[in-house]
Structure 1
């Protein structure tokens, strides 16, 4: 499941979000339509969060923002824009292997073809930097490159900062348009700045960049569908032109974005104390998930597993790419009622002190007499 759970296995309403909801209620705010591209105050706060406090992109108005329908809707809005306005009509959307499967479906629905670049070395269970660099370099010029800002879904394997700098150099030299799926900022490491190094390095050194922002995970606003699309531009005049065009797409698609989730984000990010509370929640959530990673690996090792489970603790974020086979996945489902995707991706957020031993022992039992998928 792609949703955070507490150690009691319950959904979490972040304290800052709870207080923001009360503020909105006390102000007796109306339910009028938002502008096609969302409220300006929400756009600016989203941009500052993405590009960083004091960013020249924000101060110089070198960006265009449009509120999107969480992550999926923001990606679709971006793909629709690229299909209609990107000059290279033969450009494909390049996604990592593997990626969130819906990326491909959204691209197809927007009328764009997709291709894949190498990302994960399944033999070593690590990020394949050389494969990615080679594929991006060999791709035709001016392609649309989809990148995961942090906490890559599904592998949890992220490039290092040095890796990102190399990726940037290739993308810039080839003239690729780089779009960052920014679903987990602050939710990966607990540090908003650390988690956003990739997109900020690209955005402050290159203007063929878009950020596809979601507040489902890091604000816990799964059903509120709060997101935003940002295009980095060369100057304020270009920002106006892009804004006009993206609204041409949003208007016949959903006309006006939902207001409540955006208001919650706007209120939290506009209040110093609520922002501090939110930051602490990010630290708490990421720390709990990391402790579950460590506990999962240590329990498997204490049970005498002969497999190398170090990849569990070198990965980051909500998911772990365990490396078990499809047969083992089905065994866990049928015999132990432990559910995950067919490629062995398990929700770390679903682990807790009450089920960690059960899950670890079940994993050990289905793997002790045979290899993992890549052993």
Structure 2
């Protein structure tokens, strides 16, 4: 029987997925997957926060809850509380009713809805993303109909921020261009600008008439403090200009599988916000119509209850502190083995990921010889390590660097 799908070509290799599949198919009992951006406990298991369990129990006991459709823009309380979380309690933008927030399918869905909206309503169709950036960014914006360009971000020589290159490239962007900025815990490098550097970035973005689009996947997950991790966003919002913000609760509440996030659009007036809201609904309606309820209900329950909110911040800081501890342990283990080179970038970086500086040849060799898997650019998930796997990784890094310099 002939197939109407016989002309479908195989997809090109996705380097991240290929690493995940290779690890999955490796029969070695001590294999280690450091490619996925997911927090793991000391036992190597996914963590369900205690406050999340409490919220779910409360929801289960509430017989007034039903399973009806949510509005197109999602759960109203969730949207209000999400905007407050990222913009702050005293945000003038919120007080002036010029903020649009809609519930989306985690951070990825928030980015895609924002990209679709901009492709339809923004005259400038070029979007600048960091080099390097999260691997899904180019796909999201390209498939929405925008054109992706890159600005310098990472300096491989210093294994730090190429700040001068970043300013130069953003300053050369055409007026009206969209600029994607990660608010904290940059993926994949783990390198963030300082507050002073953020202010210079803001000045260039505003003076050039560019549109900032923040990807906020790790609020509170970087430093352990929700307000500190939101400072870059609030700096841009405080100047009265427009701003797009994609939020995710996957990491900071451990709600990976609930796919819960929000898109917030800060406008220049209440009238503009009203028009933007009406058009965003037209983007969502043919895409998925109504967002899922459960994750939004969990987040709302926690953010509305002062005791639960406090418990969440304590658990959140515990996760962030543990990641910082894993960085220190890995750095000390590499140093103890006398591994050539300066590895201080491991502890200078922040958040879930670390750009190790390992090259693709070394990464592939480590997968073959040590059954340790990471993305080919040398990025590892610090959040996936524990006290047992740190020595395993340090041994592999030492061997790779000394044998394949």
The TM-score bracket by the shorter chain reads over 0.9
Q: Distance in 2 between matches of 1:225 and 1:127?
A: 31
Deviates more, 1:58-67 or 1:10-19: 58-67
* Equivalent residue for 1:43, pick from 60, 67, 79: 79
**Residues 1:363 and 2:397 aligned together:** yes
| 2:350 aligned counterpart, secondary structure | coil
* Equivalent residue for 1:309, pick from 332, 337, 343: 343
* Equivalent residue for 1:114, pick from 120, 142, 148: 148
The answer (yes or no) to whether the contact 1:340–1:346 under 8 Å persists in 2 is: yes
Q: Distance in 1 between matches of 2:51 and 2:93?
A: 27
Q: Distance in 2 between matches of 1:370 and 1:70?
A: 40
Deviation at 1:100, TM superposition (A): 0.5
Deviates more, 1:71-80 or 1:200-209: 200-209
The answer (yes or no) to whether the contact 1:333–1:339 under 8 Å persists in 2 is: yes
| 2:48 aligned counterpart, secondary structure | coil
- Aligned ranges 1:150-299 → 2 under 5 Å: 150-299=184-333
**Residues 1:21 and 2:52 aligned together:** no
Q: Distance in 1 between matches of 2:111 and 2:202?
A: 21
Deviation at 1:15, TM superposition (A): 1.0
The answer (yes or no) to whether the contact 2:340–2:401 under 8 Å persists in 1 is: no
The answer (yes or no) to whether the contact 1:43–1:65 under 8 Å persists in 2 is: yes
Q: Distance in 2 between matches of 1:12 and 1:352?
A: 13
Q: Distance in 2 between matches of 1:369 and 1:104?
A: 35
4+ runs deviating over 6 angstroms: none
**Per-residue Cα deviation, 1:204-258 (whole angstroms, up to 9, x for no partner):** 1142201101111111111101010011012222211111010011011100011
Aligned to 1:326: 360
- Aligned ranges 1:341-360 → 2 under 5 Å: 341-360=375-394
The answer (yes or no) to whether the contact 1:294–1:313 under 8 Å persists in 2 is: yes
The answer (yes or no) to whether the contact 1:176–1:208 under 8 Å persists in 2 is: no
Aligned to 2:115: 79
The answer (yes or no) to whether the contact 2:242–2:268 under 8 Å persists in 1 is: no
Deviation at 1:62, TM superposition (A): 1.7
**Residues 1:9 and 2:82 aligned together:** no
Deviation at 1:325, TM superposition (A): 1.1
| 2:328 aligned counterpart, secondary structure | helix
TM-score by length of 2: 0.90
Gaps of 5+ in 2: 1-35
Deviation at 1:169, TM superposition (A): 0.4
| RMSD between aligned residues | 0.9
TM-score by length of 1: 0.97
**Residues 1:126 and 2:160 aligned together:** yes
Q: Distance in 1 between matches of 2:155 and 2:280?
A: 37
The answer (yes or no) to whether the contact 1:233–1:239 under 8 Å persists in 2 is: yes
The answer (yes or no) to whether the contact 2:39–2:384 under 8 Å persists in 1 is: yes
The answer (yes or no) to whether the contact 1:212–1:227 under 8 Å persists in 2 is: yes
Deviation at 1:173, TM superposition (A): 0.5
Q: Distance in 2 between matches of 1:2 and 1:24?
A: 28
Q: Distance in 1 between matches of 2:213 and 2:220?
A: 18
| 2:285 aligned counterpart, secondary structure | helix
The answer (yes or no) to whether the contact 2:362–2:404 under 8 Å persists in 1 is: no
Number of positions where the alignment pairs a residue of Structure 1 with one of Structure 2 = 369
Q: Distance in 2 between matches of 1:59 and 1:226?
A: 25
* Equivalent residue for 1:30, pick from 66, 80, 88: 66
| 1:165 aligned counterpart, secondary structure | helix
Q: Distance in 1 between matches of 2:239 and 2:58?
A: 39
